[in-house]
Structure 1
């Protein structure tokens, strides 16, 4: 990475791109990561998780590859915006209560054809129906496409649970009951199912510690439970109606998800960027594609340099793994009493002695898509060329969450 950052710094200096902070997207790493995801999927289509990119141009780039088909969006307003810009297959991964967006969806035939909403309880169906009640019938006899989310968190014992709190639908019987409610509503069309095994896909597992061994053991034990419950739920729903897709997985669980006969597509996105959290997996190592440059603005002590900004803490359970990773120079660490701060971030260590005011320190965010909320554009580097910039959602004037 040291050599790659040296090349990037030379290209930025040549172009006069001296504003800090700035973000650089390395297209070589991005494309290599896309190729590796496709290799791991072994022919199963990959649906791109938009929250891990939040850059429309990058979504378009990866979707030009035949192995990637469709988008897994994080909000209905985002999905409507993407369809307005040419996307034609968008599954909203989370339920929506946005009544205005539901009315907009119901009034746009192209959006009705392209967007699938996620549901996991009857109250959501009732909210959708109430929001569009005065718009019936929908244009051209269309229906709102919906998919059921199945919870596949692992609960081996009472009171013991691994995985995110997502859907209340855990059993095949519950999935079939919700499916009956959907097919009974003439304005809704059940087209798919989704199950996200976050305790496999999103939990790092390469630590050579008792914790790491426990995580690897938990994953091994939970995989048969996921596969059995997903297959049974899909079979139960398919007795009531046909399904176009069964979505599963994430970047961290591609190998196990693709092995399930019930699954038709895999969700992935973070693996395209290779953020800091993804340095700690056993089965894969994505290349770091997104680098964040900050300026040294203070030298408060001989082995301390202070950066302007840097406190981009990742969402999730607070902890050291939510801090940015210091990519360059090697030999720096965050100050224990301050960590990464909103407007200043001290870094310490022998390498700090060589830093001067105006120098650059490079970070990587712990997560893939969240940096796009802090930048209006990314600088694009391809090989030994600086290609200019590409706007993030924020740079296009959009804020969805």
Structure 2
């Protein structure tokens, strides 16, 4: 009841739906991430933040935080325009205009690195750079997923799966006058992005943990073999990137120079269901009761912010406060109204808030112009999201 009342009072004059960040929890999460980093650099995944002032706030906390992992070319350009540098675009860029703009900035001493995983990517970059005698900084994305009979355990990203494929692409990049190999990355999505401690899926948890354990041994060996080959070829890389929030505990022990972390700062709902990870629920949103159709049923305006990915219950928003409230099975969370069932001790009335958490982190910011910062039971500031800056990249 105390947490519900605190947030309710802090947000009483803010129109709802609204997005808010508990600054005490947020900074506790930041310190937890630093503690788990094993003195490796942390690259911030912008996809999970989507707010320039929050990205800058994290960067200003500690020198542990170095660089941003972006999810789109025009996003990287926007962040660069807002004073951020050391920008790694996590996904290949094909749009020629975006690539020309990036190459121009690289020639002006900005550090914006593009992703490649094929000869086609390299040839495309080379053709664009040759037009104006420019140069690209490139990162080679290596597949770290695992294959089992009838199961692809991981994500379908890079086609680069073997050490020999890595060597062939590195040689091709090294031979080009139009690009420099800036780094390599491998995202162990099957470790970082798959929950393994959901109380509603106990049997599945055991299977996932078994697969994670086996897959981890294989990918650690593969990554080290690739790093050894690069060292043997005496290639000087600026960074070796790995990890994600859900695999920070593991990747921090590997021979990488930096680990990418995003969702752990806000700690979205999915990350409640990891055996080897725990942080505080810093980011949430409030919707407002506008109807009471019957006893214990409270209908709110808006609230239906569904997470991306394969559809399931875990993609739905979760009622955070008051404790014990829940969505209805028939309606769930709707675009224009969301009915909530609650028969607890807090007396609810028209105009009262219901607080929810999103399954993912940055996706929630696409629905709001501002993130209201709460500290000591009051709002201390409001930071713009990308949408608040009238930006939409995907």
What range is the shorter-chain TM-score in? over 0.9
Check conservation: 2:160, 2:166, Cα contact below 8 A: yes
Distance in 2 between residues matched to 1:110 and 1:296, nearest whole Å = 54
Between the aligned partners of 1:353 and 1:10, the Cα distance in structure 2 is 14
Q: Give distance in 2, aligned partners of 1:218 and 1:106.
A: 41
| 1:353 CA drift (Å) | 9.4
Q: 1:67 aligns with which of 64, 67, 83?
A: 64
1:176 alignment partner, SS class: helix
Q: Could you tell me how far apart the structure 2 residues matched to 1:113 and 1:72 are? A: 15
Say how many residue pairs are matched. Answer: 390
Task: Show the counterpart of 2:11.
Answer: 12
Superposition deviation, residue 85 in structure 1: 1.5
Which residue is 1:30 aligned to? Answer: 26
Residue 193 of structure 2 aligns with which residue?
Answer: 202
Deviation readout 1:379-398 (Å, 9 max, x if unpaired): 11123442121100111121
Q: Aligned partners of 2:144 and 2:23: how far apart in 1?
A: 34
CA 204–390 in structure 1, closer or farther in 2 if over 3 Å, else same:
same
- Among 167, 180, 204, which residue is 2:158 paired with? 167
Q: Please state how far the C-alpha of 1:134 moved relative to its aligned partner.
A: 2.2
Q: Residue by residue, what CA displacement relative to the aligned partner does 1:240-299 show, whole Å, maximum 9, x if unpaired?
A: 4221111001111111111112x1111001000011111111122211111101011122
What is aligned with 2:238? Answer: 244
Spell out the pairing of 1:287-366 with structure 2 (5 A cutoff).
287-351=280-344, 354-366=347-359
Question: Once the two structures are superposed, what CA deviation does each residue of 1:14-38 show, in whole Å capped at 9, x if it has no partner?
Answer: xx32x01011111111110010011
Does structure 1 conserve the Cα–Cα contact (< 8 Å) formed by 2:297 and 2:340?
yes
Q: Cα offset for 1:109?
A: 4.3
How many angstroms does 1:239 deviate by? Answer: 3.9
1:111, distance to aligned residue in structure 2 (A): 6.2
Is the CA contact (8 Å cut-off) linking 2:106 and 2:137 kept in structure 1?
A: no
- Aligned counterparts of 1:111 and 1:69: Cα–Cα separation in 2: 20
The 1-side partners of 2:169 and 2:40 are apart by 27
C-alpha displacement of 1:329? 1.2
- Equivalent residues in 2 for 1:17-166 (5 A)? 17=14, 19-64=15-60, 65-109=62-106, 113-136=110-133, 138=134, 143-155=135-147, 157-166=148-157
Q: Distance in 1 between matches of 2:118 and 2:203?
A: 39
User: How far has the Cα of 1:348 moved from its partner?
Assistant: 1.7
In structure 1, stretches of 5+ residues that fail to align are none
Distance 1:277 1:192, change over 3 A: same
Matching residue of 2:247: 253
Two-structure CA RMSD over aligned residues (Å) = 1.7
SS at match of 2:355: strand
Runs of at least 5 residues in structure 2 that lack an aligned partner in the other structure: none
**Partners of 1:278 and 1:52 in 2: CA distance:** 13
Q: Is the 8 A contact 2:322 2:346 kept in 1?
A: no
Q: More displaced, 374-383 or 298-307?
A: 298-307
Find 2:271's aligned residue among 251, 257, 278. 278
Tell me how far 1:351 sits from its aligned partner: 3.8
* TM-score, normalised via structure 1 length: 0.93
In the TM superposition, what whole-angstrom CA distance separates every residue of 1:50-96 from its partner, at most 9, and x where no partner exists? 00000001100111122111111111111111112211211111111
1:26–1:380 Cα contact (<8 Å) kept: yes
Q: Please state whether the residue corresponding to 1:161 is helix, strand or coil.
A: strand
